Amino acid sequence: AREGLGSPDLFEGGVYVTKNGVAELFVQTAAEREAEIRERNLERQSNALLKLTMMAKQEIKNQRGLSPEETLQRLRDARK
């Protein structure tokens, strides 16, 4: 595994660096890190969309929803 750390062509996957048997550092390629960040952002967006959907569902249940016309009017008023 140590040989692969010095050559980007050979290095795949992550490597834990330990000190006295305790993991101190995790080494991974930039491409893997970028993929991890993209996946995390996608998950956050999905969770935010789910939260908005649940809030909208609750508003409709409480009869606080708006008609499409009312929504458009509010958007137009907000632009002014």
User: What is the per-residue pLDDT across 43-80, written as a single tens digit (0 to 9) for each?
Assistant: 999 999 999 999 999 998 998 888 889 999 999 999 98
| DSSP-assigned states of every residue in 11-80 | --S-EEEEETTEEEEEE--HHHHHHHHHHHHHHHHHHHHHHHHHHHHHHHHTT----HHHHHHHHHHHH-
Within a 13 Å sphere around the CA of 27, how many CA atoms are in the beta-carbon half? 12
Looking at per-residue pLDDT, the higher value among 21 and 9 belongs to 21
Q: What is the Cα–Cα distance from 50 to 36, expressed in whole angstroms?
A: 21
Instruction: Determine the residue type at 47.
Output: N
Q: What is the pLDDT of residues 20-39, one digit of tens each?
A: 989 888 888 888 899 999 99
